[in-house]
Structure 1
Amino acid sequence: MIETQDDDRAFPPALADVAQVEFDYDDGEGVDFEPYDAFDSAEETTDWLRNWTGNHDLDGDAYRVFGQDGTGGLVALWRVRSGRPLADQPVVFLGSEGERGVVAANLSDFLWVLAAGLGPLEVVEFGSREARPNPTLTDLAGRHATTPRRPAEEIIAEAQSEFPSFSDDIDALCR
């Protein structure tokens, strides 16, 4: 099914299920992730991107924000693969202090990263630190994922190698 402009803001069922999971921050040893139960609006996303980059000529159409960390850094699907559904788009993190990076190459792989006990902030800030697998998220990934389960380190490395210029591309947007 090809998504149209009208339905590319429909919240994927996998993310709706993730939004029901409580993530344990565990005083910095757990996962700092607060999933949303819907995408931020186009207006909110545009406002955030303009403020984050200082570039008021941008719109936020390339991003579907679906969560945050405790400091306000945002997690989004990055609509970089033209004509492909949202679930096939990479997951990125844009932190409140300028941190940014690709977390997973698609929504399915993101579910496996979460199942391994890593959140978007942890991936970007600490790489593939020792993870604590989460049985609830492992079950959720097993129900929704369309990619095979593999180590989080492999998923992260593949995604970051597929989009090596993400950080530079963001820098080019900044004013």
Structure 2
Amino acid sequence: MIETTGFDRTFPAALAAVARAEFDYDDGEGVDFEPYDAFDSAEETTDWLRNWTGNHELDGDAFRVFGQDGTGGLAALWCVRPGRPLVEQPVVFLGSEGERGVVAANLSDFLWVLADGLGPLEVVEFEQYEGRVDPGLTELAERHAATPRRSTHDIVTAARTEFPNFSQEIDALCR
């Protein structure tokens, strides 16, 4: 069952820094990620989740949407750790064609994924995490991350081990 941490919508400083960063799509060879400079509103998130799942009884309280890919797939903090701050919630991706997955166990680890030159879509869509290290995003992660640098493979493996039922929980919401 998806639980929420309340109604906190304060945009973390690390995400504000990500929103100011440049992402090089490089004609499909780079990172397909467009960060927002604020979370989607509760109303927008609820509307999106209802449309994505076909379940009009849901609200979007369990998600804080902070970016998208070029097709409209969304990156969000999944508020599944009750009582913990937003920066300690896992980062997930829900694609426009039903793709979904846990990207990182927390915002700090997500910063290291970005530093490796990978975005949420690339982590969910591909098994090989071969990005191009981005010096600007590496510096951003060094300033904002509270976790040590690890490889994207290790970050994703740990997150998916901790949250193995994410996809099934999303399936259970769908109608």
TM-score class normalised by the smaller sequence? over 0.9
CA distance in 1, matches of 2:91, 2:6: 19
1:28 is matched by which residue type in structure 2?
Answer: G
What is the match of residue 34 of structure 1? 34
User: Which structure 2 residues correspond to residues 12-51 of structure 1 after superposition, within 5 A?
Assistant: 12-51=12-51
What is the match of residue 79 of structure 1? 79
2:14 is matched by which residue type in structure 1?
Answer: A
Quote the sequence identity (%). 78
Aligned length: 171
**Is residue 78–residue 91 contact of structure 2 (8 Å, CA) maintained in 1?**
yes
The alignment partner of 2:75 has SS state of strand
**Is residue 102–residue 124 contact of structure 2 (8 Å, CA) maintained in 1?**
yes
Q: CA deviation at 1:28?
A: 1.2
For structure 2, the 5+ residue unaligned runs are none
Normalising by structure 2, report the TM-score.
0.96
For structure 1, the 5+ residue unaligned runs are none
What is the match of residue 114 of structure 2? 114
What is the match of residue 104 of structure 1? 104
What is the match of residue 66 of structure 2? 66
Q: CA deviation at 1:131?
A: 1.3
Moved more, 129-138 or 37-46: 129-138
1:159 is matched by which residue type in structure 2?
Answer: A
Any idea what the Cα deviations from partners look like across 1:55-97, whole Å, max 9, x if unmatched?
Answer: 0000000000000000000000000000000000000000000
**Is residue 128–residue 152 contact of structure 1 (8 Å, CA) maintained in 2?**
no
What is the match of residue 138 of structure 1? 138
CA distance in 2, matches of 1:85, 1:129: 28
Q: CA deviation at 1:47?
A: 0.1
Q: CA deviation at 1:120?
A: 0.1
2:76 is matched by which residue type in structure 1?
Answer: A
1:10 is matched by which residue type in structure 2?
Answer: T
Q: CA deviation at 1:22?
A: 1.4
Q: CA deviation at 1:128?
A: 3.6
CA distance in 2, matches of 1:129, 1:63: 25
Normalising by structure 1, report the TM-score.
0.96
Q: CA deviation at 1:5?
A: 4.4
1:158 is matched by which residue type in structure 2?
Answer: A
1:65 is matched by which residue type in structure 2?
Answer: V
Q: CA deviation at 1:20?
A: 0.5
The alignment partner of 1:52 has SS state of helix
CA distance in 2, matches of 1:138, 1:127: 22
CA distance in 2, matches of 1:49, 1:101: 15
Divergent runs of 4+, >2 A: none
The alignment partner of 1:19 has SS state of helix
Moved more, 129-138 or 49-58: 129-138
The alignment partner of 2:20 has SS state of coil
2:136 is matched by which residue type in structure 1?
Answer: T
